[in-house]
Amino acid sequence: MSENIKNWLLFILTVAVVILLSYLANSIINRKAESQFAYTPQIEIGAHEPRNVVWGKNFPRQYESFMRTRDTSFATYLNGSKLRDALGEDPRLVVLWAGYGFSKDYNQPRGHAYAIEDIHNTLRTGGPTGPGTGPMPSTCWTCKSPDVPRTMAEKGIGEFYKGKWADKGSEVVNPIGCADCHNPETMSLQISRPALVEAYENMGKDIKDATHQEMRSLVCAQCHVEYYFDKNIAGQEGVPYLTFPWKYGTTVEDMEKYYDQMEFADWTHPLSKAPMLKAQHPGYELFTTGVHSQRGVSCADCHMPYQSEGGQKFTDHHIRSPLDNVANSCQVCHREESGALINDVFQRQKKIKQTQLSLEELLIRAHIEAQKAWQLGATEAQMKSILMDIRHAQWRWDYSVASHGGTFHSPVEASRIVSTATEIAQEARVKLARLLGQLGFSGEVAYPDISTKAKAQAFIGLDMDKLNDEKETFLKDLVPVWKKEAAEREAQMPIRPVSSRE
Amino acid sequence: MRFSSLKKKLLPPPQWRRPVIILLGIGAGLAIYIAHIANVGSYLTDDPTACVNCHVMTPQFITWRHSSHREVATCNDCHVPQDNFIKKYFFKAKDGLYHSTIFTLRKEPQAIVMHEAGQEAVQSNCIRCHISQVTDPRTAAGVSNHAENRLDRTCWSCHRNVPHGRERSLSSVGFHLEPLPVATRKGSFVPAWLDAQVNHTSN
């Protein structure tokens, strides 16, 4: 072969190699560009987007299942998704919480999608007529909406907690949803409320060290926990700053010690004059003492199990009682009949309920016997230890009932708490019997007729007609104003399609 | 001196060296560029995100991340032989070149299934971790056809949902926004605005 031809061949070969390499580079770039569009959502979700429906455009399955929390057709032994009047089912609660908001109105919680509606409707938030009015502080909004982290980020945390509940009525309008638990860019779980981060710091822990599986419970623990409003936070004096009493730990005794040490009381009971503690809903704390938690199960594993739809596996955002969905929750691990599993749950709850109910009667008797002692001229010194016993006993009782699923999440711990509370309540009544004897009274202090909610509320002197009227006016006059202002504000918030990205 | 004569043949005459060096540089530069955009270095690791360099693996990645195996096993733990270093990287190279060829030719099927070599690797890896479950002497003694079932079938002929679920295709996932497994993203659990604002005074 002549030298000339050889050189030409070499030239053509090199050209071919370079062309192929360029093609390869081109193909790689093409396919990388494709991946920007494959599996890419339609809407750009802003940093503090509070509207669940906007997130729903990108995540229709999660959103639609979340919207099913509006379903109210399922009832369990204790809760479920129905609107249930807890005071009507157990009027004793009215007397136990006399002097405190919960004696006015207390319903079993409905689904997350009702968060705003239900806090508007409850008599506990009263009937404000405009900014600066009404019984509750702004802090009461904290767990109700993804508008909360948005407002906090815009105005500051202390500024959010400051003022009356009615002051933020037009800011907080979207029910609990996406932005409460998710990072808008990556969709990974994230904490949106300061109190949990601060509580971890107070325990000497860093929440950033949490694992993904722990986060599947911790996002719930932002709200489903015991808390109080601390008005003595340095730099935030006078502001009802939402705080978890976890400094010494999360057991009922740890928190009792914490409150006793700071001499904190939620309210003074009008009958016994005891400095009371209201347990909120220590659901997470009780859950962590139970066997499911100890085996590494998270809240989401049972309350938001994976589900499959059209071949796509995703997390069911219809957050609800697992007993409404035994197949995807319990039966993933437990190979028993659905009916048997539900029965297991109810059996535990019923047995503990029995002891809780008799404890309630003991507590009411202690309150009215203390009232009798005051009437007969008992002194502060004589009453002091009795009132502390009543405080502790009712706190522990409340801790065991207020954690809605607690008697299943951790039945042994729940019944331990009830038995320590029963012992303390009996101790208070022994002391009261002695004191009443000293004061010259030897009979039984008559147990009031509190067989219905109405009778119990009349017994503690609540003017229900007035409360109902105020609420009606509020719902008719103020709520529509809030909604209108919110709609105008949200109309200014753009919804940007991803295709408009520059 | 064969070596020097070979060298003489390959090396261009002195007056041609400069253009040849430039031409070779163009070729090498192009190759480095390709290696860079294709993220070639990531294939030497065990990081599952390397497998979604090609977006056709997204369904497999997402279904794995929604499974309990995400806590204990990466893609390579199951899909690449783990008996020794050489076998592992030979398999990776062979499988990887095959995958990239098919992907470049746009010949990937809608529903991707494992070929025989891949099945063998996965089956041995199931056994690698679950040996105590499959060789349980009580089962071996008590179940008549235990040995055949154990040796003649693949684990997933029964455990069909493990770990990717039963329906797998290029369209069987929703939107995919989260390229990294969340468990490895420490520190992202608290958004910046909250981290800056929380009350750090202990009470």
pLDDT in tens, A5-23: 888 888 888 888 888 888 8
What's the mean pLDDT in A387-402? 97
Whether residues B7 and B76 share a domain: the answer is: no
Q: Could you tell me the pLDDT band of residue B202, with boundaries at 50, 70 and 90?
A: low
Whether residues B134 and B155 share a domain: the answer is: yes
8 Å CB contact of B197 and A192? no
What's the mean pLDDT in A328-354? 95
| Nearest-Cα residue of chain B relative to residue A187 | B178
* Residues of chain B contacting residue A308, judged by C-beta atoms under 8 Å apart: 165, 167
DSSP A113: G
pLDDT 10s digits, A136-166: 999 999 999 999 999 999 999 999 999 999 9
Cα dist from A283 to A70, A108, A255, A323, B86, whole Å: 22, 14, 14, 17, 52
Do residues A31 and B103 touch, judged by C-beta distance below 8 A?
yes
CA distance A314 to chain B (A): 8
* Residue B191 within any structural domain of the chain: no
* Residue A1 pLDDT > 70: no
User: Which CATH number do you get for residue B156?
Assistant: 1.10.3820.10
What's the mean pLDDT in A219-231? 96
Best of A58, A212, A304 to substitute, by most chain B Cβ atoms within 10 angstroms, is: A212
Domains contained in chain B, number: 2
* Residues of chain A contacting residue B55, judged by C-beta atoms under 8 Å apart: 31, 34-35, 38-39
**DSSP run (H or E) holding A107:** strand A107-108
What's the mean pLDDT in B32-43? 88
Our CA angle for A465, A467, A471, nearest 5°, is: 115
pLDDT of res. A96: 97
* Residue B125 within any structural domain of the chain: yes
* Residues of chain A contacting residue B54, judged by C-beta atoms under 8 Å apart: 31, 35
Exposure class string for A305-331: b at 16+ Cβ within 10 A, else e: bbbeeeebbbbbbbbbbbbbbbebbbb
Best of A28, A139, A150 to substitute, by most chain B Cβ atoms within 10 angstroms, is: A28
Domains, chain A, ordered by start = 43-335+462-500 (1.10.1130.10)
pLDDT of res. B38: 85
Within the 186-225 window of chain A, which residues sit less than 8 Å (CB to CB) from chain B? 186-194, 197-198, 201-202, 207-213, 215, 218
* Residue B106 within any structural domain of the chain: yes
Whether residues B20 and B110 share a domain: the answer is: no
pLDDT of res. A252: 97
Within the 411-450 window of chain A, which residues sit less than 8 Å (CB to CB) from chain B? none
Whether residues B1 and B93 share a domain: the answer is: no
* Residue B25 within any structural domain of the chain: yes
What's the mean pLDDT in A210-228? 94
8 Å CB contact of A247 and B203? yes
* Residue B134 within any structural domain of the chain: yes
* Residues of chain A contacting residue B195, judged by C-beta atoms under 8 Å apart: 197
* Residues of chain A contacting residue B191, judged by C-beta atoms under 8 Å apart: 149, 183, 190-192
CA atoms within 13 A on the CB side of A337: 3
* Residue B176 within any structural domain of the chain: no
**Who among A39, A41, A230 is closest to B173 (CB)?**
A39
Whether residues B81 and B134 share a domain: the answer is: yes
Q: Could you tell me the pLDDT band of residue B182, with boundaries at 50, 70 and 90?
A: very low
Chain centroid offset of residue B197 CA = 41
**Which has the closest alpha carbon to B49: B36, B37, B68, B62?**
B62
8 Å CB contact of B194 and A192? yes
Whether residues B90 and B56 share a domain: the answer is: yes
| Nearest-Cα residue of chain B relative to residue A245 | B203
Within the 231-260 window of chain A, which residues sit less than 8 Å (CB to CB) from chain B? 233-236, 241, 243, 247
The structure tokens listed for B135 are 């060789």
Rounded Cα–Cα distance for residues B73 and A36 (Å)? 27
Q: Which residue in the block uniquely carries the two structure tokens 């109190």?
A: A195
Question: Mean pLDDT, chain A, as a whole number?
Answer: 93
Whether residues B10 and B80 share a domain: the answer is: no
8 Å CB contact of B174 and A312? yes
8 Å CB contact of A187 and B177? yes
* Residue B200 pLDDT > 80: no
* Residue A132 pLDDT > 60: yes
**Who among B104, B167, B197 is closest to A24 (CB)?**
B104
Whether residues B31 and B105 share a domain: the answer is: no
Is the Cα torsion angle B192, B196, B197, B203 positive or negative in sign? positive
Any chain B CB within 8 A of the CB of A27?
yes
Do residues A153 and B193 touch, judged by C-beta distance below 8 A?
yes
* Residue A250 pLDDT > 90: yes
* Residues of chain B contacting residue A13, judged by C-beta atoms under 8 Å apart: none
State whether ipTM is beyond 0.90.
Answer: no
Whether residues B85 and B152 share a domain: the answer is: yes
Q: Could you tell me the pLDDT band of residue A436, with boundaries at 50, 70 and 90?
A: very high
What's the mean pLDDT in B103-116? 89
* Residue B17 pLDDT > 90: no
CA atoms within 13 A on the CB side of B95: 20
Residues 6+ apart with CB under 8 A from B96: B43
Whether residues B24 and B4 share a domain: the answer is: yes
Name the H helices within chain B: 2-10, 17-37, 58-65, 75-79, 85-104, 116-134, 137-142, 146-152, 192-197
* Residue B77 within any structural domain of the chain: yes
* Residue B177 pLDDT > 90: no
Whether residues B27 and B51 share a domain: the answer is: no
Q: How many percent of chain A have pLDDT more than 90?
A: 80
Q: Which of B151, B167, B183 is the last residue of a domain?
A: B167
Which range has the top average pLDDT, A33-37, A400-404, A487-491, B145-149? A487-491
* Residues of chain B contacting residue A185, judged by C-beta atoms under 8 Å apart: 177
Our CA angle for A349, A351, A353, nearest 5°, is: 65
CB count within 10 Å of CB A205 equals: 12
pLDDT of res. A172: 96
8 Å CB contact of B202 and A28? no
* Domain of residue B26, residue span: 1-37
Dihedral, CA atoms, A19, A25, A28, A31, nearest 10 degrees? Answer: -70
* Residues of chain B contacting residue A315, judged by C-beta atoms under 8 Å apart: 66
pLDDT 10s digits, A27-71: 888 888 887 777 777 888 888 999 999 999 888 889 999 999 999
**Who among A29, A186, A233 is closest to B203 (CB)?**
A233
Residues 6+ apart with CB under 8 A from B170: B56, B59, B108, B110, B111, B112
8 Å CB contact of B30 and A22? yes
- Which amino acid does the sequence have at A436? L
What's the mean pLDDT in A79-108? 94
CB count within 10 Å of CB A160 equals: 27
Whether residues B105 and B162 share a domain: the answer is: yes
* Residue B22 within any structural domain of the chain: yes
* Residue A312 pLDDT > 80: no
